[in-house]
Amino acid sequence: MTYRWNFASVFDNWQALAMGLAGTLKLSIVCLILGLSLGLLVGFGRRARRAPIRWLSTAFVEFFRNTPVLIQILWFYFALPMIAPIEVSPFLAAVLGITLNAAAYSSEIYRGGIQSIEPGQTEAARAIGMSGLQTLRRIVIPQAVRRILPALTNRGIEIVKTSTLASVVAYVELMQQGKLIASLNFNPIEAYTVVGVMFMLLLYPFVRATYAIERRLARSD
Amino acid sequence: MKVPVLRLSGLGKRFGSNTIFSGVDLDVLPGDRIAILGASGSGKSTLLRCINFLEHPDEGRIEVGGQLIGHVTGPNGPAVVRYDERELNQLRQRIGMVFQQFNLFPHMTAIANVMEGLVTVRRLAKPEARSKALEQLSRVGLADKADAYPAHLSGGQKQRVAIARALAMEPEILLFDEPTSSLDPALVGEVLGVIEALANEGRTMLLVTHEIGFAYHMATRVVFIANGGIYESGTPDEVLKSPKRALTQQFVADHRRFQF
Ligand SMILES: Nc1ncnc2c1ncn2[C@@H]1O[C@H](COP(=O)(O)OP(=O)(O)OP(=O)(O)O)[C@@H](O)[C@H]1O
Ligand SMILES: [Mg+2]
């Protein structure tokens, strides 16, 4: 018995897929920006001089790193409105879950990157009169970014793929639309294959771009 | 009488319960070249680092150009000097520091290293900073390496760029912390040559070094650190040719053993 692949039934629903793609892009971009910036803050928080900031940052990281994103999204969607007087849309629930998780993971990457810069670099910068902030901006962060770019790329890819979990609260993104098409046409294999390939096509150019940046930054070696 | 460019009085530094030095008094007059000698771990680097506040001293005062750095607090109880970050950033521009490990910024070319302070701290326009930086690089003989990244420079060249970077800020005092200790012996000469040229210009400098011969020839004064403070000081002849105290004699003897 051979399986008869029927991709036509998927492509007939290209409008649904296009909507899903738009939803995936929107969610991914918001989570990438928020997650990776919040991660930088938390990363610095873990090295803060004030102990309460360090504890809070560590607690944040350990909490969000060690709970499943799926559960966080469900929790933000169903439980948060019960304890706080706010309406939580599927989009917001997904953004919260994915962003906080991404921040927890990426903060560890940033922290490692910043810690890996020799103290002599900071000292040399301070010795010519640079302020702490100038030293971070001009000396520490540019060097740290070079070192953590590959790890950060991985994290970025992970964030985009994690966006599929938003389908659990019926947010319209690629996975959700794949599910929809599959249930209407009884073609789950084809539908999910197409969704998978679409992710590949979405992510590969992004990865190539980061390779190009890595090469550019490596000029000083 | 000349005002000291730098005056340390009763300076002390501890790490935890470990007192590195205490009660250090030192007057540095314009044009003084002070060689700081001492055994490994005696606190030479720490003393130098306190002068530009990479470490904050725990006690005593530092005056630069006749002005006390920081402000004294605590009318009741012992007087404590508090330091203000902004003041320290200003101060560090007036004190150049050259490190044993060079500490060049590896993501910047040689000239960008030298320009960094001028652009980021002094806020000079790029073209102006560039020409000033090029001037400093020429002075250390590296104008042709302006666009090279540190990874492509020899140790001696790196240290000369680091010196140019310090000079670009036009400091009143230069601090050298074992500037040749991590260099191949063959490269020591080019760096000492640059320092000697600066000495001949009459620059004020403090130099921590194990090159005792160089210290003898270029220093106006030698300070020997031991037992948590200045143990013996005087002219190079006094301290290095006829040291009076036991540890100094021992140190000089050890360092001269294999000279010819
Ligand atoms: N940040 C620090 N925390 C704790 N102890 C320190 C610190 N920096 C230096 N020390 C200690 O202070 C002492 C003096 O160190 P320092 O580096 O000033 O000595 P040094 O005379 O420069 O030695 P060397 O000739 O090896 O460079 C050493 O015992 C060192 O272990
Ligand atoms: Mg030292």
Q: What is the pLDDT of residue A221?
A: 75
Interface predicted TM-score of the whole assembly (ipTM), two decimals: 0.93
Share of chain A above pLDDT 70, in %: 100
pLDDT at A42 over 90: yes
Looking from the CA of residue B48, the nearest atom of ligand 1 is: 18
- pLDDT number for residue B76: 61
Q: Chain B partners of A143 at a C-beta cutoff of 8 Å?
A: 105-107
Q: Which of B107, B117, B120 faces A220 most closely, judged by CB atoms?
A: B107
Does the beta carbon of B157 sit less than 6 angstroms from any atom of ligand 1? no
Mean of per-residue pLDDT scores for chain A: 92
- Work out the end-to-end distance of chain B between its first and last CA atoms, rounded to an integer number of angstroms: 41
CATH number at residue A151: 1.10.3720.10
CA distance A150 to chain B (A): 17
Taking 60 as the threshold, does the pLDDT of residue A149 lie above it? Answer: yes
- Per-residue confidence (pLDDT) for residue A85, from 0 to 100: 87
CA angle A169, A173, A176 (to 5 degrees): 60
Query: In this predicted model, what pLDDT tens digit does every residue of B28-38 receive, in sequence order?
Result: 999 999 999 99
Structure tokens at A168: 């659990």
- Note whether B72 and B62 are within 8 A (CB): no
Q: Give tens-digit pLDDT for B222-246.
A: 999 999 999 999 999 999 999 999 9
Residue A216 confidence (pLDDT): 87
Atom of ligand 1 nearest to the CA of B46: 18
**Cα Dmax for chain B:** 59
Of A8-12, A23-27, A181-185, A217-221, where does the model show the most confidence? A23-27
A202, exposed or middle or buried, with CB in 10 Å at 0-12, 13-18, 19+? middle
Which pLDDT does position A24 carry in this prediction? Answer: 96
Q: How does residue B151 score in pLDDT terms, banded at 50, 70 and 90? A: very high
Q: How many Cβ contacts (< 8 angstroms) between chains A and B?
A: 77
Q: What is the mean pLDDT of residues B176-182?
A: 95
Chain centre to alpha carbon of residue A94: 11
The answer as to whether B170 is a domain residue is: yes
- Is B209's C-beta closer than 6 angstroms to any atom of ligand 1? no
Has residue A214 been placed in a domain?
A: no
Residue A126 to residues A132, A158, B96, B115: CA-CA distances in angstroms?
7, 37, 11, 15
Is the confidence at residue A183, as pLDDT, over 70? yes
- pLDDT over threshold 60, residue B77: no
Do the domain assignments include residue A196? no
pLDDT tens-digit series, residues B13-28:
999 999 999 999 999 9
Residue identifier of the C-alpha nearest atom 26 of ligand 1 = B40
What's chain A's Rg over C-alpha atoms?
21
Q: Share the mean pLDDT of chain B.
A: 93
> Within an 8 Å CB–CB cutoff, is residue B107 touching chain A?
yes
Does the pLDDT at position B198 exceed 90?
yes
Decide if B107 and A125 are in contact by the 8 Å CB cutoff. Answer: no
Q: Which of B184, B188, B177 is nearest to B37 (CA)?
A: B177
More confident call, B154 vs B66: B154
Q: B31 is in which domain, residue-wise?
A: 6-256
Query: Average pLDDT, stretch B36-48?
Result: 95
> Are the Cβ atoms of B121 and A130 closer than 8 angstroms?
yes
| Residue B29 counted as domain residue | yes
3-class secondary-structure state, position B83: coil
Task: Record the pTM.
Answer: 0.86
In this structure, is residue A7 part of a structural domain? no
Q: Which residues surround ligand 2, an ion (CB under 5 A)?
A: B 45
The answer to whether the CB atoms of B103 and A131 lie below 8 A apart is no
User: Which pLDDT belongs to residue A8?
Assistant: 87
**Partners of residue A146 in chain B, C-beta under 8 Å:** 107
Give me the domain span that covers residue A54: 25-174
Instruction: State the best of B84, B116, B136 to mutate against chain A, taking most chain A CBs within 10 Å.
Output: B116
CA nearest A31: which of A155, A209, A159?
A159
Q: Is residue B151 domain-resident? A: yes
pLDDT range class, residue B168, cuts 50, 70, 90:
very high
Indicate whether B1 pLDDT > 70.
Answer: no
Angle between helices A174-185 and A188-217 (to 10 degrees): 160
Does a structural domain hold residue B90?
yes
Shortest alpha-carbon distance between residue A75 and chain B (Å): 44
Q: Which CATH number belongs to the domain containing residue B129 in this structure?
A: 3.40.50.300
Q: Which atom of ligand 1 is nearest to the CA of B210?
A: 25
What pLDDT is recorded for position A6? 85
Model confidence pLDDT, tens digit, residues A78-127: 999 999 888 899 999 999 999 999 999 999 999 999 999 999 999 999 99
Residue B201 contacts A, CB cutoff 8 Å: no
Count Cβ atoms within 10 A of the Cβ of residue A51 and give its class: 0-12 exposed, 13-18 middle, 19 or more buried: exposed
Q: Which of B52, B120, B162 sits opposite A130 (nearest CB)?
A: B120
Query: Per the structure, how many domains does chain B have?
Result: 1
Nearest to A129 among B54, B151, B169 (CB): B169
Question: What is the 8-class DSSP label of residue A5?
Answer: -
Domain count across chain A: 1
Domain-located, residue B1 = no
Q: Would you state the pLDDT for residue B260?
A: 67
